[in-house]
Structure 1
């Protein structure tokens, strides 16, 4: 049984703050500053360039990739870290299209994260071979999968509403139609009970700075199914994806298995911070996490609907259709959220009218949920959100 009081103590959370934005940026693991200092002084400072060998920097992407793989149901040796999520989306999509050269349709949905769609649009233009990015409503994805589709590219949990797709069902439909499936797990890894092997996922990608708490700009990961990895030809053939990076050959030879999905030099300091976050996960059972997340989410929905009737629930009530966030709509959602943040309840806003709240049992309790409901209700009751400073848009919402 997971001890969530113990995991809460492993984070450095500011006093007086109720943090409901782990779906956007996880909080600081308490052990991270010391680990970062050790990496900087004891490794970079003392070892200098020998740290690549002595401190194991070169092995970080694969070693930490396997630790993330355990959280998403991926077999050992099929997940690797490095670069950004957009880069990993590009890698997966280019590889999938190359494996289905006779097909031209990339199928996605309007709830997908825009950056994924941007990467697909750019790749279509770059290839110049008549590919089409076909975008349908989330609930229409299954019906839209046909024999024209080369690959489905879906984010499992909608970043705005928290709606969760049925990954196994959509993968089965894609495979039956001869298509491949890419899944973006940015709002799934560390949030819900994912099993990419059981679902027979072809490619999975995700970031580590949200529910995995790796820190701002922490590296992304990519998983490739073992049955495909030796067929995949990397579109981004970076030096660390080479079979022998330090041979410095003029021509590219892809590395073995998942190593070929590496691109650039590992972000050593960022991975040091991520390592401390993954230490916390060693004591977490994902079944316990999911049950606690749903219970806290139900409590938040019930509390807000009872106290804030002017808000409209945007997140599915059904557990199977919900990720680990709860979203509500309000015409002045941005100002309401700024007023909440000013009182120490931190969520975030997504256009045009979504207030998002991440439900993260690693460090949230029932008391935190109840405080958030009370503060939100008071802000709406008193209309204290309607002040000029709360309407002023910042660069990051």
Structure 2
């Protein structure tokens, strides 16, 4: 008998039992493609589309865009960035209304808030010229920090991290000081899935007199947050991962109410002006979150995420987090049982309290394994060095699907070997 047959059989029983007991199992049917044999392990990069979105988009084209035409701006579209932003804030971020807005891409919003925070801090205290960021943060974050530092004559302080983890309290304490202006942190590390301690790291930054800007791209819609209670200053996150907004859907920005009046965002466009339609000779920023907009709101790009917000409202972020933990715990156990003997190691935290919605599995053959899996309709993604990321979106992923995908990884590893 193959020594893997018994573990495989027991895992099949466990996966079926977990699906039977899953209170969120019925939500899987709400997503396009969930009924097919394709195995999707990349919901942490691009979420599956909700079925309702196709109908929403069609109705918008015929009824609102086609029927109301330019009247749509006065009737609804001008308010969408704030209405949807507030809903994301309430359902996913722990943010009171008036602090979250849908705007540009993640990169542009990070630039706006980071640059605005640095300038505000330096204006108050010219000695505060340092930006602290993790060496293993997502490339956009690191590139922006370097660019803004060069642009504004600031200095980058790099936090050296273990690529299987992320920035923790000890590392941050050692990096901040009286010259720190802004700290840019990832709530969930894009490579390892490490879940940072939001309130603790925010407190450490504040004790040093710094502002903190959180990148929420890999946690929004998957991990509960309480930005207001944590005392967070600023945050940015994307909407095409766990919020299922679609390819390139616009990002959101959070600015705590106490900071909105003192921050001047650097991309001055007509939509952020105090009187948008006065077409005045000079720019005067609007009050509140409107001042953080620049150009015309991406109305089409904001439509799809509303259906996931409906699901999020129905399921509740705490229930989603419970299933996320159960999925990643199960994936880790399967990896230990059927991939460990093949030389695979876990490059993510084992403790679920320190882990977001994805895990990374390490093996020298993972780049080739990923390509082989994609050809067979099993879709994880690859990150250097040697990392296969398993992204498990709680609303659209089942335990049976997770087990089938992990078995496919084992088969691909054997084939490569």
- How high is the TM-score relative to the length of structure 2? 0.88
Displacement after TM superposition at 1:193 (Å): 1.2
Question: Are 1:124 and 2:157 counterparts?
Answer: no
Q: How many residues align?
A: 381
Question: Are 1:83 and 2:108 counterparts?
Answer: no
Match for residue 218 of structure 1 among 242, 249, 258: 249
Displacement after TM superposition at 1:81 (Å): 0.4
The structure that is helix-richer by fraction is: 2
Q: 1:1-397 to 2 correspondence within 5 Å? A: 3-13=23-33, 15-54=36-75, 56-70=76-90, 71-101=92-122, 102=126, 103-127=128-152, 129=153, 131-137=154-160, 138-139=167-168, 140-309=171-340, 310-381=343-414, 383=415, 385=416
Is the CA contact (8 Å cut-off) linking 1:182 and 1:203 kept in structure 2? yes
1:248-286 C-alpha deviation (Å, 9 max, x unpaired)? 112111111111111111111111122222222121211
Stretches of structure 1 lacking an aligned partner (at least 5 in a row): 387-397
Mapped partners of 1:373, 1:186: distance in 2:
25
Displacement after TM superposition at 1:17 (Å): 1.2
Mapped partners of 2:333, 2:283: distance in 1:
57
Is the CA contact (8 Å cut-off) linking 2:222 and 2:394 kept in structure 1? no
Partner of 1:197: helix, strand, or coil? helix
Mapped partners of 1:38, 1:53: distance in 2:
18
User: Which residue does the alignment assign to 1:395?
Assistant: none
Displacement after TM superposition at 1:352 (Å): 2.7
- How high is the TM-score relative to the length of structure 1? 0.93
Partner of 1:283: helix, strand, or coil? helix
Displacement after TM superposition at 1:69 (Å): 0.4
Is the CA contact (8 Å cut-off) linking 2:172 and 2:204 kept in structure 1? no
1:330-385 C-alpha deviation (Å, 9 max, x unpaired)? 1121111122222222110112311001121101111111111221122223x2x4
Is the CA contact (8 Å cut-off) linking 1:184 and 1:205 kept in structure 2? yes
User: Which residue does the alignment assign to 2:5?
Assistant: none
Is the CA contact (8 Å cut-off) linking 2:221 and 2:243 kept in structure 1? yes
Mapped partners of 2:94, 2:61: distance in 1:
32
Cα RMSD of the aligned pairs, angstroms, is 1.5
Stretches of structure 2 lacking an aligned partner (at least 5 in a row): 1-20, 161-166
Partner of 2:185: helix, strand, or coil? strand
1:109-163 C-alpha deviation (Å, 9 max, x unpaired)? 0121110111122222222x3x011111234223212111111001111101111
Partner of 2:229: helix, strand, or coil? coil
Mapped partners of 2:299, 2:326: distance in 1:
37
Displacement after TM superposition at 1:2 (Å): 8.7
